[in-house]
Amino acid sequence: MADSNDRLPPLNALRAFEAAARRLSFSKAAEELNVTPGAISQHIRQLEEYAGTPLFKRTGRSVLLTDAAQASLPLVREAFSRITEAGRIMQQPARKGRVMVSCAPSFAAKWLAPRLDRFHISNPGIEAWISADMSITDFTTADADFSVRYGQGSYDGLKSEKLMDETVLPVCSPRLLEGSDAIRKPEDLAKHTLIHDESTEQDPSCPDWTSWLAARGIADKVNGQRGPRFNQSSMAIEAAASGRGVVLAKRAIASSDMAAGRLVAPFADGSTSIDFGYWIVWPKGRHQSDDVRAFIKWIKAEAAAGEIHGV
């Protein structure tokens, strides 16, 4: 007969504890789990009765973790990760022929989607399901096999593999290279609208127009502050492709439009390398099916081909 001290803690209470500890907020945990804050509080009380010690310190509208909570939280997260992985292994027969990929909307629309036909032609038995989301993938709740993240590649509890580097360069419609105000040199930007990409995933090393112009010694000739601003890279790219102006674009996001002739790079030496890149990310210990490995092999080949050809 099992010792009563070895009984398992209540699973729902553990889920509430993990969410509240991660968010340091009962109300945010309730929103995430689609329950009321009162239900979260009840689950925490139940778990504290089980533990025989407080797990949270209430400080007004916020909460802090006690020593017991801080010590147990990593184990709870690992346990949920293992339970999730066990469920995925159980579901593998039903998931066969399907790969779930999470990535940012601009990367999905401008880099991944234009290439997907090539994957489906070479892998007719596998369907790629793309989830485009600005928020960072939470693998404990998201139904994603892996994600593509823009960053420096270091993520707690996750494995990451470099997909490709990124550079930033001015691009515009080919129409802006024609006529009396044709762009020939950086100083000519004074005659054209500057489009600003202010997406939330910006890298601190990524230049804006002001710093790009200053690096070329023409900040006194071209006002880098003027022009429209967009909070998603894909919208900034579309504005430039329509002839609205010139955008400092991420090469990967602009590559399909450059290959199609909708965008051109007016300056041969306009590129700037940045610290962030694109990474394939998945939970440590996750088993990757043959279908997922086939997709990762394909996406890495596509990225390598793009870097070789420069678009």
Q: Does some domain include residue 288? A: yes
Alpha carbon distance 213, 220 (integer Å): 9
**Residue 102 belongs to domain with CATH number:** 3.40.190.10
* Number of residues written out for the chain: 311
54 and 118 both lie in a single domain: no
151 and 282 both lie in a single domain: yes
Domain boundary among 70, 91, 112: 91
173 and 271 both lie in a single domain: yes
Q: Does some domain include residue 1? A: no
195 and 240 both lie in a single domain: yes
pLDDT of 311 strictly over 50: no
190 and 177 both lie in a single domain: yes
Cβ atoms within 10 Å, residue 131: 15
Q: Does some domain include residue 311? A: no
- What is the domain count for the chain? 3
Mean pLDDT of 128-139: 82
pLDDT of 310 strictly over 50: no
289 and 156 both lie in a single domain: yes
DSSP 240-297: HHTTS-EEEEEHHHHHHHHHTTS-B---TT--EEEEEEEEEEEETTPPPPHHHHHHHH
pLDDT of 213 strictly over 60: yes
Which tens digits make up the pLDDT trace of 226-248? 999 999 999 999 999 999 999 99
**Closest C-alpha among 106, 230, 239, 225 to residue 172:** 239
Mean residue pLDDT across the chain: 89
**Closest C-alpha among 286, 280, 281 to residue 88:** 286
**pLDDT winner (highest mean) among 39-53, 69-83, 122-136, 277-291:** 39-53
- State residue 2's pLDDT score: 45
Contact 171, 263 (CB under 8 A): yes
pLDDT of 101 strictly over 90: yes
Q: Does some domain include residue 3? A: no
Domain containing residue 61: 11-91
28 and 71 both lie in a single domain: yes
- State residue 237's pLDDT score: 96
**Residue 27 belongs to domain with CATH number:** 1.10.10.10
